[in-house]
Amino acid sequence: MTFLSTTIRATHLVTNAAWFGGSLMGAVGLNPAARRAGADATEVAGTGWERWGPVQGAAIGAHLLTGVGIVVDNRRRVLLHPPTTAAVGAKTALTGVALASTAWAWQAGKRLGDTAPTDLAQHSRQRTQLTWLQWVTPAATGALLVLDAYLGEQQRGAAGLLDNPVRS
């Protein structure tokens, strides 16, 4: 494996970790803390997400670019090894889900911030939508991390830490 391949693969994993971790922190920490703060929860959470958005956007962009680089670097394996083909197909589908859920959550949060609290029915629907939607991105990006571990194990070879020791 070349230095460039290692750099691309490491960047791919780190950017997925940022995407996963940021979205999970939002669902577990920021959004509940904003609701509990007693102030305008939408404004507090919105400010946090506005600050994180550029970082997450850069991580997503780099993740997509490095994903293409990994597929190009491993094109023969992707095409000729059925378990790899299946895992790359699953990763592509999950990446699409993560992208769609991230964009949808961003739009829903923006609409929630723009909705006058006097329109209580619309405000309530948007909050409900965000309540379940906030978990889709960390679930999809977490599954991507699992698939990356699976793909790494495929390349490892027969001997491993948990394998039976060689008998003499």
Return the domain boundaries, the chain.
Answer: 3-153
Type of residue at 95: T
Note the helical H segments in the chain: 3-25, 31-36, 41-73, 75-80, 82-114, 120-133, 136-156
Secondary structure (3-state) at 117: coil
CB 68 within 8 A of CB 15: no
Say what the pTM is: 0.84
Q: pLDDT at position 168, please?
A: 47
User: What pLDDT sits at residue 46?
Assistant: 82
Radius of gyration in angstroms for the set of CA atoms belonging to the chain, rounded to a whole number: 20
Q: Distance between CA 18 and CA 49 in Å, rounded? A: 14
pLDDT profile of the chain (168 residues), mean per 10: 91 97 92 76 81 94 97 94 95 97 90 73 82 93 95 72 54
pLDDT at site 53: 92
What residue type is 115 in one-letter code?
A: T
